[in-house]
Structure 1
Amino acid sequence: MLNKQQAMIAIHPYLNFAGNTEEAFRFYQSVFGGKFSTVSRFRDTAEASRLPHEEQDKLMHIALPVGRNTVLMATDALESMGHHLNAGNNFSLQIEAESTEEADALYRALCEGGKPTLPMMTMFWGTYFGMLTDKFGIQWMINYNFNQSISI
């Protein structure tokens, strides 16, 4: 359990789509307004060579700030990369931690009785990141941005 002096920056919804993330986020942008703060395509990653040509322009990550403290984020969860979407696994909650220590503590606490899916590690996009499913079946992403001045 975290002590009262530890505080997360925010919790953000992270959505998974079956190849139509861009269409969905253009719709959400028309509803909520604003500008995308991040748009990353699979073609720009090391994974590009594993994908069929027609999937390389799909979105690896997109972020749309919604309101003062919430960012709606998503990815194209591609079957060619082993993803199979069902109701219940089409979203995660992402926690923005304030330190790597807090990220590790949250990861350990939420993993208790659950299932780790990706251990906490420094990722190629420059954050400290991990994923898990808790004992209630909720998917979590824990993230610490080394450069806190950049909002994701």
Structure 2
Amino acid sequence: MKIFPYLNFDGQAEEAFIFYQSIFGGEFEGGINYFKDIQGMEIPEDEQGRVMHVSLRINPHYKIMASDNMPSLGHKLIVGNNNYVSIDADTKEQGQEFFERLSADGVVEMEYQKTFWGAYFASFKDRFGVAWMINYDLKEGES
């Protein structure tokens, strides 16, 4: 089984995923697909540039995916607090870098800091309203 986060945006999917690619690297699988490219479907002019689907392959095991909603079809994005993307960093420094870059212009719930459970951890919402957790489990001898 594989589980991949799928995010929804209100017209910001392309901007968000270019931002995420600048942090995590990776490649877009199949490019960025727009609603305007669907054959035989009438798309309102102001929604044609919205993303139908984007998949950012970060490495052979991980990817994140997304789309924009379509207001003309009755879709309404409601940003909630029930979805987080959780990242297990490879190093304490990598976790710090991800935190600093992803949380820029966002809302920090908990700064990246050492915790009582033997890890460095942070939680926050990025500037697009996506909730993130970053965790780095300390190795023996690390502080």
The CA deviation at 1:36 is 0.6
CA RMSD after TM alignment = 2.6
Given the alignment of the two structures, is residue 79 of structure 1 paired with residue 71 of structure 2, yes or no? Answer: yes
Which sections of structure 2, spanning at least 5 residues, go unmatched? 86-143
Which sections of structure 1, spanning at least 5 residues, go unmatched? 1-7, 94-152
Given the alignment of the two structures, is residue 34 of structure 1 paired with residue 26 of structure 2, yes or no? Answer: yes
Query: What amino acid is aligned across from residue 29 of structure 1 in structure 2?
Result: Q
Whole-angstrom CA distance in 1 between matches of 2:34 and 2:4:
20
Whole-angstrom CA distance in 1 between matches of 2:18 and 2:38:
22
Larger radius of gyration: 2
Secondary structure of 1:15 counterpart: strand
Runs of 4+ in structure 1 deviating by more than 2 angstroms, as ranges, are 87-93
Whole-angstrom CA distance in 2 between matches of 1:58 and 1:90:
24
Whole-angstrom CA distance in 2 between matches of 1:45 and 1:59:
11
Length, aligned pairs only: 84
Whole-angstrom CA distance in 2 between matches of 1:87 and 1:25:
17
- Correspondence list, 1:11-90, <5 A: 11-38=3-30, 39-46=32-39, 48-49=41-42, 51-88=43-80
Whole-angstrom CA distance in 1 between matches of 2:54 and 2:68:
9
- Percent identity over paired residues: 45
Cα contact 2:26–2:59 (8 A) shared by 1: no
Whole-angstrom CA distance in 1 between matches of 2:11 and 2:67:
8
The CA deviation at 1:57 is 2.0
Whole-angstrom CA distance in 2 between matches of 1:71 and 1:31:
13
- Correspondence list, 1:119-138, <5 A: none
Structure number with the bigger relative contact order (C-alpha 8 A, sep ≥ 6) is 1
Whole-angstrom CA distance in 1 between matches of 2:83 and 2:74:
16
The CA deviation at 1:20 is 0.8
